[in-house]
């Protein structure tokens, strides 16, 4: 399955936690509901959020808990409208009980571990491809922006990312097969293509 790309805003529970995201190697959403959500299905999460007046957050919480996967890429635009951080998800959903409180500066217990690219330094939004910049206009907390994965992969240049899905990789596989073909003309044609 193809790695997915997620836009994640660093504003869980109403305040900017970009510094926390970077120092703790996490992404997170708010919605402190007093419990861990690993074994909760969509309806259970919805009920918990509704009890606390946060039913509007169902999509964000469900995505972080159930839809994201290890290996997915996150694009995190800082609230300063200038800096954008890139990371790779390295853990399943995690629950931080001590942050499960409804108070300013806290309230972001639902997390995933992330490995940040570029030594935790941002790229400038203005230097990113137009399509990727356009996707950052989405106002919500989390969005699936996998349709821009080619731009993201080119930007972060991570060779471990889903190279099996690229056309270049598929073409190389075809050439490898042609080199093993019993017909010498097919082998010769593959060699000519490689040597061009």
The pLDDT assigned to 30 comes to 94
Confidence band (pLDDT; 50, 70, 90) for 191? confident
Average pLDDT over residues 62-83: 95
The pLDDT score that the predictor gives to residue 185 is 83
In the DSSP assignment, the letter for residue 75 is E
Question: What percent of the chain is predicted at pLDDT more than 90?
Answer: 67
Residue 87: other Cβ atoms inside 10 A: 26
- Amino acid 172: pLDDT: 73
pLDDT of residue 43: 94
What confidence score (pLDDT) does residue 181 get?
Answer: 80
Nearest-10 Cα torsion for 129, 134, 138, 141: 10
List, for residues 104-157, the tens digit of each pLDDT value.
889 999 999 999 999 999 999 999 999 999 989 888 899 999 999 888 988 998
What is the full DSSP assignment across 106-121? ----EEEEEEESGGGP
Residue spans of beta strands (DSSP E) within the chain: 5-8, 26-29, 73-77, 83-89, 94-95, 110-116, 123-124, 142-144
- Where residue 163 falls among pLDDT bands split at 50, 70, 90? very low
pTM here is 0.80
Decide: helix, strand or coil at residue 69: coil
Lowest mean pLDDT among 44-48, 89-93, 126-130, 184-188: 184-188
* Cα 19 to Cα 8: distance, rounded to the nearest angstrom: 14
Residue 2 has what pLDDT? Answer: 66
């Amino acid at each position: 399955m193809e790695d997915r790309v997620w836009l994640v805003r660093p504003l869980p529970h109403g305040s900017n936690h970009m510094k926390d995201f970077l120092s703790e190697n996490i992404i997170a959403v708010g919605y402190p509901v007093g419990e861990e959500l690993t074994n909760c299905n969509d309806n259970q999460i919805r009920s918990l959020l509704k009890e606390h007046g946060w039913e509007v957050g169902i999509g964000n919480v469900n995505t972080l808990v159930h839809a994201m996967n290890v290996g997915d890429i996150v694009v995190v635009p800082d609230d300063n409208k200038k800096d954008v951080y890139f990371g790779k998800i390295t853990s399943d959903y995690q629950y931080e009980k001590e942050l499960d409180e409804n108070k300013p500066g806290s309230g972001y217990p639902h997390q995933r571990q992330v490995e940040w690219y570029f030594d935790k330094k941002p790229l400038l939004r203005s230097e990113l491809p137009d399509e990727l910049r356009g996707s950052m206009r989405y106002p919500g907390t989390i969005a699936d922006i996998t349709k821009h994965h080619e731009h993201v992969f080119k930007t972060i240049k991570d060779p471990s990312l889903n190279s099996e899905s690229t056309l270049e990789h598929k073409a190389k596989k075809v050439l490898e097969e042609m080199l093993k073909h019993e017909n010498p003309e097919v082998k010769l044609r593959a060699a000519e293509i490689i040597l061009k």
